[in-house]
Structure formats: structure tokens, C-alpha cells
């Protein structure tokens, strides 16, 4: 779930976390944003909110996996490292769906 | 013998960090306060409150994804009540070290924040009483690198280049240039600042968690956080490769695949907001 700054919010985006002030929930999780909500969020002085969907990744998936291979190249024979690498690889692949 | 600086000179240079002209002024001021053997929460609170820039930085950090308290903490006094002395001390050093890290090693701050997030989550999953303290350990574990870079930029640069060229870890290559590792250096500093024992130990032994006697769990957490943050490739800790995890530390924490998946997701979420924390 990407954190999007108020300037970049667009109508139709869905809140991934409730937006609250103190103990009061202002907009619940799953709220679909409208232009009105977006301008009110801005008026409240909120900088950024979490919306649904995968975060935008700075590099393409193939490049991310290539760098992952490079990072692990010296330790794959060490205990647990292959398993850790597999978990990180699965995590990275989930970021690109 | 090589031309390495002898360890006593190194230590006294590190400990007189306040005298360096290149040390950012906030860090110098805070370091001086921390040297007092007994400092109260009140005194720290007013130190922060009297400095609007520092107040803003501290509150921003506390309200960031790395800490994730429900609702906003909007005053320093609320924060000190909620977090306690050692966490506030750690955060103070943390925010002032930020300037230092950005000046000396681009990416080290992001690496440190990544460890903050992961360490706190592991501490919560393991039911530790003070997860915030452990997250401060994550935040400050590499403080020694920033200080070595500040004082011995040329030599530390060489150690980093060597690590990149040969695909080794910085904590291995730095041994060719310095008589003490960044972990040792960091531990001298936090000891001088009268930090609690668990912080001192986690910093000192984050590459050798088996040596920690007082805080084995906290040290294992920081060690594993360091490995996971590097595994995901967040930030730049001075080299480009993942070190092998210490098997006993990994076993001690006994994280499931789901746990690790959660940790990495949280790290991903926090990383996107890292750049806002300046």
C-alpha cells in the first residue's frame, strides 16, 4: 500500500488505513476518495495517506531480482540464507502484481 | 604493523567528537548534555521544547511509520511521558545523527530507519515489554560508521570501495584500516552518553550476537533486522552484499515465513515515507 501525498491523491483511490484524529475516525478504511474528501483532507493539514494498491517501484522487477541475486551471491551456502532469500524474493514478486 | 591508528588514539578521538569542527551543531549540543551522568526527563524535555526545529524533528519521527503510535503525538511532554527517558535520548541522538549520516554516507539513514521499523516489529512479535527501546537500538546500531566517516573519511571511503569491489561486508574490510570496528566505536559513544545497557550491547555485538550476555534477545533482533533490511536492499550501509545470519540468533527468534512476510511488507510501507522525515 503506497503512501500518497495529498497533492497526488485522485478521486477513486481507496483508503488502505482509516484516517483518524486523536481517537476519532474521520474516514474509515476502504473509503473511496472523492474530490470533496481530497480537498478536506488537504484542509485538515494531513500530509499524506495510505491508499490501496502496490507501491510504485523505482526499478523493474527483473532488475530487482538481479540485484537480489547479487546481494546474496556469497552467502547462499550459509545456514538459513537460501530460505531468507526465497522469502525476500517472494516479497519482491508480490510488489509487482 | 600497518599504519592503522592505535586503538587508544582512535577511542579518544571518537570520544572527543564534540571538539570536531565538522560535527553538526545540534549533535554537539546534545552530546554535551548526554555526557552528564544524571539527566532527567524534565531537563531533556525542556531542551527539546526550547528548540522549535528539534521539536519538529522529534515529533515527526515519533509520528512516522517507524513508530506508528495510534493517533498523533503533538507535544514533547506527551512524548516523554509515553516513551520514557532512554527512548527519548535515543531519538534525540537519532535525529541529530541524521544530519551527520546524510553528510557522510548517503543511504545509511535509510538503512538505519529500516532497521528501526523491523526491530520494533520483531520485538512486538516476540512480546518484549519495550519494543520502542529495541527500535532505538535499530536506529543507532550503525552510528559508529557515521562517526568513523566523519573523522577518517578517506580511510573509511577506501574500506567501502574495497567492500564494493570485492563483494564483502564493510565490517570485514574496515578491519584492514581500523583497530576497532564501527560496532566497537558506536558502543564507546553510547556508553559515554550513558545509554542503558541493552543499547550499548546491541550496538557492540550486532555482528556477533552470540557474544551478548545482558541482552541476547535484543541483540539478536538488531542483528536479524540488519540482515533483513540488507536482504531487501533498503538504503546503503557501506557495502552491497547481505551478510550471513548468525544461526543461533535466527533460531532464537524463530520467525515464521508469515512473520518475515509481514516484516518485509511493513518495511516496504515505511520506506516510502522515509524521505519525508528530514
Q: State how far residue A56 is from chain B, nearest Cα, in angstroms.
A: 9
Give the pLDDT mean for B160-167: 95
The residue that leads in pLDDT, A74 or B27, is A74
CATH number, domain with residue B195: 1.10.3210.10
Choose, out of B59, B210, B242, B253, the residue to mutate when testing the contact with A (most A CBs < 10 Å). B242
Q: Are residues A37 and A75 in the same domain?
A: no
For residue B137, give the nearest of B76, B74, B198 by alpha carbon. B198
Residue B275 scores a pLDDT above 50:
no
Q: How many structural domains compose chain A?
A: 2
The residue that leads in pLDDT, B105 or B182, is B182
Residue B274 scores a pLDDT above 60:
no
Tell me which residue range forms the domain holding A89.
61-95
pLDDT for B198? 86
Distance in angstroms (rounded) separating the CA atoms of residues B79 and B41:
11
A to B CB pairs, distance under 8 Å: 79
**Which residues of chain B lie closer than 8 angstroms to A67, CB-CB?**
233
ipTM of the complex: 0.88
Give the pLDDT mean for A26-52: 85
pLDDT for B1? 45
In a domain, B146, yes or no: yes
**Which residues of chain B lie closer than 8 angstroms to A84, CB-CB?**
227-228, 231, 245, 260
Which residues contact residue A68 at a Cβ distance below 8 angstroms, ignoring those fewer than 6 apart?
A85, A88, A89, A92, B231, B233
In a domain, B163, yes or no: yes
Cα distances (Å, whole numbers) of residue B110 to B113, B147, B238, B239: 5, 17, 12, 14
Give the pLDDT mean for A29-39: 88
In a domain, B128, yes or no: yes
Contact B273/A at CB under 8 A: yes
Partner residue facing A75 (CB), from B71, B233, B242:
B242
Residue A78 scores a pLDDT above 90:
yes
In a domain, A82, yes or no: yes
Of B1-5, B6-10, B81-85, highest mean pLDDT: B6-10
Q: DSSP secondary-structure letter at A56?
A: P
Q: State how far residue A54 is from chain B, nearest Cα, in angstroms.
A: 10
In a domain, B38, yes or no: no
In a domain, B218, yes or no: yes
Q: Are residues A14 and A41 in the same domain?
A: yes
In a domain, A56, yes or no: no
Cα distances (Å, whole numbers) of residue B274 to B66, B104, B151, B190: 9, 18, 27, 24
Of A63-77, B47-61, B214-228, the poorest mean pLDDT is in B47-61
Q: State how far residue B134 is from chain A, nearest Cα, in angstroms.
A: 22
In a domain, A81, yes or no: yes
Q: Are residues A82 and A43 in the same domain?
A: no
CATH number, domain with residue A14: 3.90.105
Distance in angstroms (rounded) separating the CA atoms of residues B117 and B222:
11
Q: How many structural domains compose chain B?
A: 1
In a domain, B148, yes or no: yes
In a domain, B66, yes or no: no
pLDDT tier, B84 (very low <50, low <70, confident <90, very high otherwise): confident
In a domain, A55, yes or no: no
Give the pLDDT mean for B241-255: 97
What residues of A are in the B interface, CB distance below 8 Å? 1-3, 20-23, 47-48, 50, 55, 64, 67-68, 70-75, 78-81, 84-85, 87-88, 90-92, 95
Tell me which residue range forms the domain holding B223.
7-22+106-274
Give the pLDDT mean for A85-91: 97
Give the distance from CA B277 to its chain's centroid: 16
Amino acid at each position: 500500500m503506497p503512501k500518497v501525498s495529498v497533492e497526488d491523491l485522485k478521486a477513486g483511490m481507496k483508503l488502505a488505513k482509516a484516517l483518524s484524529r486523536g481517537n476519532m475516525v474521520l474516514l474509515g478504511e476502504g473509503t473511496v476518495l472523492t474530490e470533496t474528501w481530497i480537498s478536506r483532507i488537504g484542509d485538515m493539514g494531513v500530509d499524506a495517506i495510505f491508499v490501496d494498491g502496490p507501491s510504485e517501484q523505482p526499478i523493474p522487477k527483473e532488475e530487482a531480482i538481479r540485484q537480489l541475486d547479487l546481494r546474496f551471491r556469497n552467502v547462499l551456502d550459509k545456514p538459513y540464507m537460501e530460505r531468507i532469500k526465497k522469502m525476500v524474493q517472494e516479497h519482491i514478486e508480490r510488489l509487482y502484481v | 604493523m600497518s599504519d592503522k591508528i592505535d586503538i587508544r588514539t582512535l577511542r579518544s578521538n571518537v570520544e572527543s567528537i564534540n571538539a570536531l569542527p565538522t560535527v553538526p551543531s545540534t549533535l554537539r549540543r546534545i552530546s554535551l548534555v548526554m555526557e552528564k551522568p544524571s539527566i532527567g526527563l524534565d531537563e531533556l524535555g525542556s531542551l527539546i521544547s526550547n528548540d522549535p526545529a528539534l521539536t519538529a524533528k522529534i515529533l515527526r519521527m515519533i509520528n512516522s511509520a517507524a513508530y506508528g503510535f495510534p493517533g498523533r503525538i503533538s507535544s514533547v511532554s506527551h512524548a516523554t511521558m509515553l516513551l520514557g527517558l532512554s527512548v527519548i535520548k535515543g531519538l534525540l541522538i537519532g535525529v541529530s545523527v541524521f544530519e551527520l549520516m546524510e553528510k557522510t554516507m548517503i543511504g545509511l539513514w535509510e538503512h538505519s530507519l529500516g532497521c528501526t521499523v523491523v526491530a520494533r516489529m520483531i520485538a512486538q512479535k516476540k512480546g518484549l515489554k519495550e519494543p520502542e527501546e529495541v527500535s532505538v537500538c535499530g536506529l543507532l546500531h550503525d552510528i559508529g560508521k557515521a562517526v568513523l566517516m566523519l573523522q577518517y573519511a578517506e580511510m573509511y571511503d577506501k574500506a567501502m570501495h574495497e567492500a564494493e569491489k570485492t563483494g564483502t561486508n564493510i565490517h570485514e574490510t574496515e578491519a584492514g584500516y581500523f583497530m576497532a570496528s564501527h560496532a566497537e566505536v558506536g558502543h564507546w559513544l553510547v556508553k559515554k552518553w550513558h545509554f542503558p545497557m541493552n543499547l550499548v550491547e546491541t550496538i557492540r555485538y550486532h555482528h556477533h550476537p552470540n557474544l551478548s550476555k545482558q541482552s541476547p534477545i535484543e541483540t539478536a533482533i538488531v542483528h536479524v533486522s540488519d540482515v533483513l533490511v540488507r536482504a531487501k536492499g533498503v538504503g546503503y550501509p557501506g557495502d552491497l552484499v547481505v551478510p550471513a545470519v548468525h544461526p543461533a540468533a535466527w533460531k532464537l527468534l524463530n520467525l515464521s515465513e508469515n512473520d518475515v512476510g509481514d516484516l518485509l511488507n511493513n518495511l516496504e510501507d515505511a520506506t516510502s515515507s522515509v524521505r519525508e522525515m528530514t
